[in-house]
Structures are given as C-alpha cells and as structure tokens.
Structure 1
Amino acid sequence: MTAEQAAPERLSPGDRVGRVLGLSALIVGGFFPLVWMILTSLKTEAELQKFPVQYLPGALDFANYTRVFTEQPFARFFFNSLTVSLLSTLLCIAVAVPAAYALARLQVWGRGALLTAVVAFSMFPVVSLLVPLFRLFRGADLLNSYPALILPYAALSLPVAILTLVAFFSAIPRDLEAAAMVDGTSRVGALWRVVLPLSAPGVVTAALLIFVNSWNEFLLALSFNTKLDMRTVSVGVTLYQGEFAFPWPLIAAAVVIATIPVVALIAIFQRRFVAGLTAGGVKA
C-alpha cells in the first residue's frame, strides 16, 4: 500500500459543509420527533401546558404508559396489528416471489405490459377502493375480521413487492440456476435453493415495507373493523381523545408503544434492509 493510498481522504470545505448539513437534517428530521414524543409521554398535562416550554419532564413518571393499557384495550389493539401485519406480509411475499421470478426469468408474453400494469395499480389511491372493498367484504360477511384487513393489505403491497423482487432476481446470473438444474434441481428448486438465498436483502426489504405499510394503515382499518376488540393500533391511538379533551401525553405514550415493533425490526434487519434499498436500484 502506497503512502497516498494509506492517507485519509481529505474533504473539501464544501463537502464538509454538505456532510454536516446532511447529518443535521437527519437528526432533526428523524430523531428529534421521536425524542420529543418520548419526552412528551413522560410529562404531565400541567408540564405540557407550561410557558415558556418545559423541554424535560420534572420526573420520570411512567403513569401515562400505564393509562394506555387501562383506559383502552391497547394490548388487544397491539395483538390485532401484529397479527394482521405478519399474515399480510407472509401472504404478499408468498405471491410476490413466484410472480416476480416469472417476470424476471421466464419468457412471459407481454412482460412489459404486465410490469406497467403493476406500476399503475400501485398508484391507485386507497380511498378510491374503499367503497367497492367495503361492499365486497360486507357481502362475504368478512367485516370485523382479520381477513378484512389481511387481504387488501397484501394486495395493495403486492406491486411494490413484485417490482422490488424483479430487480433482485434479474441481477442474479442465470448460469447459477442453469448449473443447479443440470445437477437435477427443478426450476422451483433452483428458485428456492439458489435465487432466494442470494436475494435475501431484497426479500427482507420487501417484507419490511409490507409490514410497515400494514402496521401504519389507518383508513381501511377504521372502515372495515368497527368493533372495539378488532381495532388496530393506528386506530386505537385516536380513541384516547375526547370531545373536549386531547390528552397529548397519553397519546404520545401510545404512539411510542406503537412505534416499538417498527423500530425493532429496522434495528434487527438494518444491514439487509440498507443492502436491499441500494441493490434494488438495478434495472430489471
């Protein structure tokens, strides 16, 4: 290694300013709202209404977190969201993997038109599908049930999952599958044993996007599951406000609890998620 290679990279003043501004934007836009929400959840109503603003709580009081579970069946809301999000993610991935593999590897007639249709479907606003889906599920007696949310969540997330996986499958050399099939592996076996392990970052990325979208969805959950014991977290957070009261510390505590699964998943799979986001830019 030469001395030039060993020397640390020197940044120009403009690059340093850019990095500082980028880091500042990340802190302000990403971390500050979460920190502010946590601090708010630890305050009392009196501390929240003080002027000038009291940034730190007077004491670490977790009473708001206790009230979250006593004033509403928040544990049930949490279980409902977890069940719906996990099952919709599994269903969507189970459909998206073979569909994306067929579009990426097989000689499918009208492949370009199919991908265009997938992109077009992903642009449909959810509100435009609300009435037909409601009538469909009411006729099938599926309202106030898990399938009423699992099926539309999986269907609405399917275009993004397919497009993400098509990019990954297309980037894998075909020779690897050919070698596996020469050794006696079927096309499905090559997909399962060769393509999927190499596309793990893409699968994880698609699964996380589906899970987060399902966890955060509000409109369909509000409209299809109206019974209290079938509410999800996104709708349950709104139930703490009254006609003339808006208990911000209590709502902040509920939001913090609702954010934990998403933050935990991102923290656990962050390497594969980042790899998936960067590698997913390969042209299909």
Structure 2
Amino acid sequence: MAMQSDTKTKAGTAVGFVLILVWCLLPVAWIISLSFKGAAETAAGSPQFLPKDPTLDNYKTVLGVGNLSSGDAPDPAVSDDFLRALLNSFGIALVATLLSVVFATLAAYAIARLEFRGKRLVLSIALAIAMFPVVSLVGPLFDMWRTFHLFNTWPGLIIPYMTFTLPLAIWTLTAFFREIPWEMEQAAQVDGATSWQAFRKVIVPLAAPGVFTAAILTFFFAWNEFVLAISLTSTTGSRTVPAQLSFFVGPDPFNPPYGQLATASVVVTVPIIVIVLLFQRKIVAGLTSGAVKG
C-alpha cells in the first residue's frame, strides 16, 4: 500500500510538473512559431499553431540580411533601428549592472560588517525606493533630464536604472555577507593581509553567488524596462529594445507586423538565455572558489 501511494504521488507530481511546464512555455512556443510565419499568413489571422509555409523572412528583415525567398532586400529602417536599439540595450544594461554591483557590494559589506547608527533605517529606505512606482517619476525626470541635457542619452537611462536596482542588489548582497563567518576575514588579516585584501580575496569570492545573483537581477531590470526607456528617449540614439518594439507598426496601422514583433522578441530573448547560463556557471565557480580546504 505504501509503495502504491508513493507511486501515485510521483505520478501526480510528474503530471503537475508537465502541466505547469506546458502552461509556462506555450506562449514562448507560440511566439517562436509566429516568427516563422510570413506576412500573408499573419495578416489572414491564421489560427493554426504551426506555420503552413515556414520562412526566415522575418529574421532577415529584423537582422538586416537579404530576403532570399523573394529576392528583395529587407527594409533598412527596420533592421538599422532594431540593431541600434539592441546595441543600446546591451551597453546600458551592462554599464548599469557593473556600477550597481560594485556600489552594492561595498554598501552591503559595510551594512553587514559594521555597526553604526541608522543601519536599519538605511535598509528600510533602500527597500522603499525599490518599491516606489516608476511611472510617478517619469514627469519629474523628464523635466530634470532636459534641463541637465541628459534626455535621450545613455546616462539618462543608466542613472534611474541604478536608482531602482541598487536597493535590490544591496538587500541581496547584505543577506549573503551576513552568512559569511567573519573569522575567515580575521584569519586572513592575521596572515598579513590588509582589510582591502581580505575583502577582495576572501569575502568577495565567498559572496560570489550573491554577487552574480544581484548582477542577473540588475541586468534583467535594465534589459526589460520599458516606461523609462520610452519616456526619456526620443530617437534611436539611446532607445532600448523594449521601447523600440513599440515603433514596429508597419505601413498599415490596422495590421501590425506580428511576425516581425515575434521575431524581435525571440532575438532579444536569446541573449538573456545565454547570459543566464553563463551566470549559472559563474555561481557554481564562486561556490567552489570560496571553499576552504581542510
């Protein structure tokens, strides 16, 4: 009886896992399928899941390569604007992530290691800033950035991104630093290391999982953010991909280029998957590099 009950439990868990997996991945699969459908098929509102006549025309148009099926060159405006937005997203997200992780690491170490008055207040304020609605800051930031000549620039997006990612990174890293036994830092100082050397060579490697977790969260926010990107930019000079996709309207306002939108979404998602896999390896490397040999 116990074995039958255990088998039923495992079978139910497997079925539930499959249902959840299908529910979560079905929209992704639909977008991938839509990206391989031609303009005529999407304009006709084809309800079938798989494309009738799979084509790479959408990818060729978005990425700016030749349209081999029809012999026509893709629209240069679409490809140039998308590739420029892709470059902006990479640059802005990487800079915001780097600065946020560096400042958050130092701040979290001080909060976890040092005792000073108002430490809880600092963490509370940081959490309140992270929960502040972004849309309420668009108006003031728009006026300030135009006055400071930061409108439609990379720093004009990096600064507000850091404002919202720093508190989250500080909270994440503070929890990691608190779990590190400080006797290891003291042992390094006894061996002749300075405070900075002990922090850089002992504490940071042990906190590598938290550092890369904070980096992933920061990069995801900067990569996917839409409200600030659409409000604080006016041209493709600094507009990121989420904002640029809203300008994929096509020649007919009543028939948007759904295939190109789906293709751009797939292209934008691929780097995220690759980066997540790379960061997962770094997290494992951080765990092993911070280990103490007995």
TM-score (normalizing by structure 1): 0.87
Secondary structure of 2:151's match? Answer: coil
| Cα distance in 1, alignment partners of residues 255 and 236 from structure 2 | 20
| Cα distance in 1, alignment partners of residues 126 and 176 from structure 2 | 17
> Are 1:268 and 2:275 counterparts?
no
| Cα distance in 2, alignment partners of residues 108 and 141 from structure 1 | 38
Give the aligned length.
267
Instruction: Determine the structure 1 residue equivalent to 2:246.
Output: 238
Please show how residues 87-126 of structure 1 align to structure 2 within 5 Å: 87-126=95-134
The code of the aligned residue for 2:42 comes to L
8 Å contact from structure 1 (residues 266, 273) kept in 2? no
Q: For residue 129 of structure 1, report the CA deviation from its aligned partner.
A: 1.4
| Cα distance in 2, alignment partners of residues 182 and 128 from structure 1 | 51
Cα gap change, 1:97/1:270 in structure 2, threshold over 3 Å: closer, same or farther? same
Q: Deviations over 1:231-284 (max 9, x none)?
A: 2111111111143221111110111111121111112223556999xxxxxxxx
Please show how residues 28-67 of structure 1 align to structure 2 within 5 Å: 28-29=23-24, 31-48=25-42, 53-67=47-61
Instruction: Determine the structure 2 residue equivalent to 1:4.
Output: none
Picking from 16, 20, 25, the partner of 2:15 is 20
Secondary structure of 2:193's match? Answer: coil
Please show how residues 71-150 of structure 1 align to structure 2 within 5 Å: 71-72=77-78, 73-150=81-158
Cα gap change, 1:137/1:167 in structure 2, threshold over 3 Å: closer, same or farther? same
Judge which range, 236-245 or 100-109, deviates more: 236-245
Instruction: Determine the structure 2 residue equivalent to 1:247.
Output: 257
Secondary structure of 1:100's match? Answer: helix
8 Å contact from structure 1 (residues 205, 272) kept in 2? no
8 Å contact from structure 2 (residues 145, 156) kept in 1? yes
8 Å contact from structure 2 (residues 38, 53) kept in 1? no
Query: What runs of 5+ residues in structure 1 fail to find an aligned partner?
Result: 1-7, 277-284
Q: For residue 158 of structure 1, report the CA deviation from its aligned partner.
A: 0.6
Cα gap change, 1:199/1:102 in structure 2, threshold over 3 Å: closer, same or farther? same
Query: What runs of 5+ residues in structure 2 fail to find an aligned partner?
Result: 65-75, 287-294
Judge which range, 234-243 or 100-109, deviates more: 234-243
8 Å contact from structure 2 (residues 84, 236) kept in 1? no
The code of the aligned residue for 2:214 comes to A
Instruction: Determine the structure 2 residue equivalent to 1:198.
Output: 206
8 Å contact from structure 1 (residues 47, 54) kept in 2? no
| Cα distance in 1, alignment partners of residues 108 and 226 from structure 2 | 28
Cα gap change, 1:28/1:127 in structure 2, threshold over 3 Å: closer, same or farther? same
Q: Deviations over 1:12-53 (max 9, x none)?
A: 523431342133202321x22222111100001333356772
Q: Deviations over 1:204-235 (max 9, x none)?
A: 11101101110111111111111133221111
| Cα distance in 2, alignment partners of residues 275 and 114 from structure 1 | 31
Please show how residues 197-236 of structure 1 align to structure 2 within 5 Å: 197-236=205-244
| Cα distance in 1, alignment partners of residues 249 and 45 from structure 2 | 23
Cα gap change, 1:190/1:27 in structure 2, threshold over 3 Å: closer, same or farther? farther
The code of the aligned residue for 1:235 comes to A
Q: Deviations over 1:82-130 (max 9, x none)?
A: 0000000001011100100001111122222221111111110101111
| Cα distance in 2, alignment partners of residues 46 and 177 from structure 1 | 65
| Cα distance in 2, alignment partners of residues 51 and 42 from structure 1 | 14
CA RMSD of aligned residues (A): 2.2
Cα gap change, 1:54/1:220 in structure 2, threshold over 3 Å: closer, same or farther? same
Judge which range, 16-25 or 179-188, deviates more: 16-25
Judge which range, 151-160 or 235-244, deviates more: 235-244
Percent of aligned positions that are identical: 40
| Cα distance in 1, alignment partners of residues 122 and 6 from structure 2 | 46
The code of the aligned residue for 1:104 comes to A
